[in-house]
Amino acid sequence: MREEGDLAARFRRLIALHGPIPVARFMGESNAHYYATRDPLGASGEDSGGDFITAPEISQMFGELIGLWLADLWTRASQPHGVSYAELGPGRGTLAKDALRAMAGAGLRPAVHFVEGSPTLRRLQAAAVPGALFHDGVDGLPDEGPLLLVSNEFFDALPVRQLVCTPRGWRERMVALQGSDFVFVAGDKPMDDALPDARRNAAAGTIVETCPAAAAIMQDLCAQIARRGGAALIVDYGSHEARDGSTLQALKTHRKVDPLAMPGEADLTAHVDFFTLAEIARRAGCRVQAGTQGRWLTELGIDLRARALAASAPSRAGEIAAARKRLVQPAEMGELFKVLAITAPGWPAGAGFGETS
């Protein structure tokens, strides 16, 4: 008998009774269970290990530069009163803590709101940032004063929906059981009408991936920013161009594993479709600026910050240099990770994107 989590057993019963389940449901329930039951973050060499590491956990420079970016924008917007800082999926609360410290240095002390689904992570976040208020979704954020919102590696964890082109037409991509293994199958129901006409004659096997949850959150968020004033900074891995194909992947103890092998026990993510997120922001009337993490951090002065930190803690100079490299080098996080900045009509453009767009 193989050892497995409660969720795998539940999926098996469900599929046996009712047939295959959509990829989006498999991913959504897997991640809800995964984040609710652990702190997944940690460096691979650490005792606690974890499954993956994120930019704010690599270096305080990441959160600090985000805080300075927000404070700079707020200053150039003539320092409005009643500003809120909100963060989606704040993990251990490290980014918020570093950003808020940097903002306070610039005279900005906003109210703090966290959108977080996991009770385990809420406890860590409350300890890192005392006084933060918690919400289940962006729609729960109090609707007053300008909003400065940040998310890092949040959108990649939202469930994706996949459609696959078969010789019989487009179908939803589902998860079924083959013996005791979870496998991908095409659903029974025709889905041709879920795609634009131009996609009708795609090659068999083509997969189109969308993230309805990300689109819904983005719409709500951009409507709020357009109305209230403020900005959003979204950092994640993915692409600024529209693309086909499945990007679903799973990480367990810093290694890629089969995304269907251990539901609820591995981190499931998909590339963020920044192209669509940017379209939604433009339609809401916001300004959009896009770049890569490496260039953006470099333009904001990460080299200078790294030198200053190393000068004040010479014994940590090597570690600081290594962290800077990891965040900005193209072969590490610098190119794969993208930055999308959204600013309200009437607000200035954000720094770090070269010429103002």
Using DSSP's 3-state secondary structure scheme, residue 134 falls into strand
What does residue 41 show for φ and ψ, rounded to 5 degrees? -90, 145
Determine contact, residues 156/272, Cβ cutoff 8 Å: yes
Q: What type of residue sits at position 177?
A: L
Q: Does 102 participate in binding ligand SAH (rule CB under 6 A)?
A: no
Q: Does 234 participate in binding ligand SAH (rule CB under 6 A)?
A: no
**How far is the C-alpha of 106 from the C-alpha of 128, rounded, in Å?**
20
Q: Does 187 participate in binding ligand SAH (rule CB under 6 A)?
A: no
Rank residues 98 and 153 by Cβ distance to ligand SAH and give the closer one: 153
Question: CB of residue 101 vs ligand SAH: minimum separation in angstroms?
Answer: 16
Question: CB of residue 115 vs ligand SAH: minimum separation in angstroms?
Answer: 6
Q: Does 118 participate in binding ligand SAH (rule CB under 6 A)?
A: yes
Among 42, 50, 67, 91, binds ligand SAH (CB under 6 A): 91
Total residues found in the chain within this entry: 357
User: How many CB atoms lie under 10 A from the CB of residue 172?
Assistant: 20
Q: What residue number has its CB nearest to ligand SAH? A: 89
> Interacting stretch for ligand SAH, rule CB under 6 A, among 86-94, 187-195, 274-282, 315-323?
86-94
What does residue 231 show for φ and ψ, rounded to 5 degrees? -155, 160
**How far is the C-alpha of 77 from the C-alpha of 240, rounded, in Å?**
27
Q: Within positions 132 to 171, which residues make up the interface with ligand SAH, using CB under 6 A?
A: 152-154, 157-158
Site string for ligand SAH, 285-304 (x = CB under 6 A): --------------------
Q: Where are the beta strands (DSSP E) in 99-146?
A: 111-115, 133-135
Q: Does 114 participate in binding ligand SAH (rule CB under 6 A)?
A: no
Q: How deeply is 53 buried, as exposed, middle or buried, from its count of CB atoms within 10 A (0-12, 13-18, 19+)?
A: middle
Q: Within positions 25 to 64, which residues make up the interface with ligand SAH, using CB under 6 A?
A: 31, 35, 41, 54, 56-57
Rank residues 154 and 347 by Cβ distance to ligand SAH and give the closer one: 154
Determine contact, residues 64/302, Cβ cutoff 8 Å: no
Q: Catalog residues that contact ligand SAH under the rule CB under 6 A.
A: 31, 35, 41, 54, 56-57, 89-91, 95, 115-118, 121, 152-154, 157-158
